[in-house]
Amino acid sequence: MSPTIILFVLISAFIIAKLEIQIEGKDGGAKNLPTWRIKNNWTRLILGNHPFTGYHFWAFLALFTFLHLPFFIGISWNLKLEITILTMLLLITLAEDFLWFILNPNYGIKRFNSRHVSWHRWIGPVPMPYFVLILGIISLQIFNYYFL
């Protein structure tokens, strides 16, 4: 991925994290927001104690839609570009979640752990969803590099 794309991803993640901090405050996972929630064996597998929420569904779908804007303003769709966009989507999601903790005055890097963040399922010092996102990012990049 180019440095320009990485910069765009980081700026986007920063902006979304700051917006989400304003919306959620100290209570991550949309804990106190008026939204639907799904919590079952499938959501627990990846998200741990964090339910799948309508808030996060619509936020993710909005980001997915905005990242596909180039296809609606004249850039022709192709699989290589689609894989790049999906990789950006996963990178923004990963970076935004991490930045939410770092930038949130109720947390910071010292409180980024399983003791203070109970809604994530942790594997050592890293939330489980980060492993899933990183695996997705690596898989997409391998596919883009070797098969397209």
Give the three-class secondary structure for 107. coil
Domain locations along the chain: 3-147
pLDDT tens-digit readout, 12-22: 999 999 999 99
pTM over 0.85: yes
- What's the mean pLDDT in 134-144? 96
